[in-house]
Amino acid sequence: MYLYNLFDKIGLVSKKVLNAFLNVPRECFVPRKYVKYAYIDEPLPIGKDATISAISMSLLMCEYALLEEGNIVLEIGTGSGYQAALIAELVYAKDKAGNLIRKGMKRVYSTEIEKSVYEFGVKNLDITGYLNFIEVKLYDGTLGWPDDIKFDAIIVTAAGEIIPPPLIEQLKVGGRLIMPLGKGFWQQLIRLTKTGSGEDDYKIEYLEEVRFVQLKGKYGAK
């Protein structure tokens, strides 16, 4: 009923990303007063100038990151927790009943800089069971993850004027970073792929025009 614009964009994502969308109850990741709008393909406010992205954008971020089962992924900007839950659906193995299987270390890591938003996201991930598979920290994500982990993909859910150098450093060779870049009303969604171990060994693709809230932190918007 509420999937107004989403049907026009379903063909842009793979079956596995679509299945992730079908498995994650978006209504559990929006403020209670917005539950009836949970499946409208538009951003919704969650407090502190933060939003839960439009459904199609959340799915496209996963698609552009080329996520595969077994990947280790960092998300900058936990927000409601919805994007992290989608990522978990894509990188964890599943049993015959479709339940996520965790063996050893977690595969999804997420940072949030605003305390009240962090608490909202953690609560949502806990209620839906995803917190067992996602490590969340109240932290300046533009500094990267505080522990020594290399990532197959990094997804930044807010727009910055530069690509934070610590994020490039924490990518594995072959890793992808998806991020809105720019300071205006509209930004460019980019995909950076790390091609070698040197400081400048990467390539950048410009994907599409987007609109995101501004990235906060040391390497965030000025």
Determine, yes or no, domain membership for 144.
yes
What does the pLDDT read at residue 11?
65
- Residue 66 CA to its chain's centroid (Å): 12
Q: What is the SS3 assignment for 59?
A: helix
In the residue annotation, 197 being an active-site residue is answered as no
In whole angstroms, what is the distance from residue 119 CA to residue 159 CA? 22
Task: For 174, list phi and psi in degrees, rounded to 5.
Answer: 95, -10
Mean pLDDT of the chain: 93
Over residues 6-18, the pLDDT tens digits come to: 555 666 789 999 9
Q: What angle do CA 189, 119, 59 make, to 5 degrees?
A: 30
Q: What is the phi-psi region of residue 160: left when phi exceeds 0, alpha when psi lies from -120 to 50, beta otherwise?
A: beta
In whole angstroms, what is the distance from residue 99 CA to residue 75 CA? 22
- Residue 21 CA to its chain's centroid (Å): 13
Determine, yes or no, domain membership for 193.
yes
Given the residues 53, 56, 58, 110, the one annotated as active site: 53
Over residues 56-103, the pLDDT tens digits come to: 999 999 999 999 999 999 999 999 999 999 999 999 999 999 999 999
Say how many domains are in the chain: 1
Helix (H) or strand (E) holding 84: helix 82-91
Over residues 104-127, the pLDDT tens digits come to: 999 999 999 999 999 999 999 999
The CATH number of the domain where 124 resides is what?
3.40.50.150
Determine, yes or no, domain membership for 60.
no
200 lies in which domain range?
66-210
What does the pLDDT read at residue 8?
54
* Predicted model pTM: 0.94
